[in-house]
Amino acid sequence: MCEKAKGDGAAAMSACYQGFDPAAYLQYNYTPPRADFERQVSIVPWKLHSVCTALSLKVTSDVSGELLVDIGTGPTLYHVILTDFLEVNHQELRRWLQDEGDCGLDWMSYLQHVCKLEGRQYGDIDYNCNP
Ligand SMILES: C[S@@+](CC[C@H](N)C(=O)[O-])C[C@H]1O[C@@H](n2cnc3c(N)ncnc32)[C@H](O)[C@@H]1O
């Protein structure tokens, strides 16, 4: 464990990540040789398998609930896969992603609203971070 993380709470953990280099992290973990889709135990296949397991186990194990929140996504999006036949829907999502201002719905505000309604607490996650 990081020396700086010896204190309590998020601030101590956050201190540990000062100097975190997203580009270096992605290069090291998500490109060969460390990332190897031929091997199930390689990092990305293993992570995806873990997410699938957590989702499929739902209420039959110690993992329960209807919403899986990834705390600490880092600079990654590998577990978010969106599909649709229609190009108009791709365009709509692209408008939101690229923050073009004319998208049909502000998804971050929407999710914050839903979370608030459900009384969920997500700490200090930054919902306003556009890629
Ligand atoms: C090693 S990276 C992992 C990134 C990503 N989950 C992946 O699979 O590649 C850990 C990330 O968790 C974040 N993190 C650690 N503790 C956290 C917390 N309590 N709340 C939010 N983010 C946290 C760090 O900022 C860092 O970006």
Give nearest CA residue, ligand 1 atom 13.
72
* Cα of 88 from ligand 1 centre, angstroms: 33
Residue ranges per structural domain of the chain? 82-131
Mutate to test the pocket of ligand 1, among 1, 2, 13, 69 (most ligand atoms within 8 A of CB): 13
Band the pLDDT of 108: cuts 50, 70, 90: confident
More confident residue, 2 or 92: 92
If we measure between CA atoms, which residue out of 105, 114, 116, 111 comes closest to residue 127?
Answer: 111
For all residues of the chain together, what is the average pLDDT? Answer: 78
Ligand 1 pocket at CB < 6 A: 10, 13, 17, 20, 29, 47, 71-74, 76
**pLDDT tens column, 31-46:** 888 888 788 888 888 8
**pLDDT tens column, 54-65:** 777 655 556 666
* Cα of 9 from ligand 1 centre, angstroms: 14
pLDDT at 58: 57
Integer angstrom CA distances of residue 17 from 85, 110, 117, 126, 127 = 40, 29, 32, 16, 19
Give nearest CA residue, ligand 1 atom 12.
72
**pLDDT tens column, 12-25:** 888 888 999 999 99
* Cα of 72 from ligand 1 centre, angstroms: 3
User: What is the value of ipTM here, to two decimals?
Assistant: 0.94
Give the integer Cα–Cα distance in Å for 2 and 7.
10
**pLDDT tens column, 75-102:** 998 878 889 999 999 999 999 888 877 8
State the amino acid at position 70 in one-letter form.
Answer: D
Give the integer Cα–Cα distance in Å for 70 and 77.
11
Band the pLDDT of 47: cuts 50, 70, 90: confident
Instruction: Give the global pTM.
Output: 0.70
Give the integer Cα–Cα distance in Å for 61 and 69.
17
